[in-house]
Amino acid sequence: GYIWSRSNPLLLKSAIVGTGADTFCAVFPQNDYAGRYNTKFAYFDSSILIDKPHNMYLGAGVGTGCVSLLALLALFGMYLVQTFRLLWKRELGSDFLNYAAAAIFLSVSGFLCAGLVNDSSVSVMPMFYSLLGAGIAVNLLLKARDANAAAK
């Protein structure tokens, strides 16, 4: 809570452009000793350096700007809505594409939910974006197959 409460004002300062990649540590108010003490941060070392927002979306908003964060959220939202509409009331059956779309949807959804309380890891992000791209490709294949089946 302490880190998030100090990170939200940083979003206003970085609304358009952002502060730069991996600059959260430099722009975070590290000298707020009273705030740390009042939020039970005093149980830890008060001179600890806070370098991550512990929220993937706050980190993206501060680092690259709120415009970039909105574009990222729009990409995630479009994928989730598109996949949900494609898979709603669809029988998985024995079709590989249906299973792949459902598995990728669940894994991307799980990672996006975990991003609320955990910042992104360099080792996991390539796999996440690969899955997101594969999910978009599977959705396009399912749409094309549905359009061909409707045309017949």
Instruction: Copy the structure tokens of residue 129.
Output: 């974006």
Please answer whether residues 60 and 18 qualify as being in contact, where contact means their C-beta atoms are separated by less than 8 angstroms.
no
For residue 32, what are the contacts with CB-CB under 8 A and spacing of at least 6? 6
**Helix locations, the chain, DSSP H:** 2-13, 24-27, 33-38, 56-64, 66-87, 96-114, 125-151
Residue 59's CB is within 10 A of a number of other CB atoms, namely 20
Instruction: Copy the structure tokens of residue 145.
Output: 């197959």
What is the length of the chain? 152
pTM over 0.75: yes
Eight-class DSSP state of 115:
T
pLDDT of residue 152: 79
pLDDT of residue 40: 65
Q: pLDDT by residue for the chain (152 residues), tens digit each?
A: 777 777 878 888 888 888 888 787 787 777 777 666 766 655 566 677 777 788 889 888 888 899 999 999 999 999 999 999 999 988 888 789 999 999 999 999 999 999 998 876 778 889 999 999 999 999 999 999 989 988 87
pLDDT of residue 84: 95
Give residue for tokens 């809505």.
81
pLDDT of residue 82: 96
pLDDT of residue 45: 63
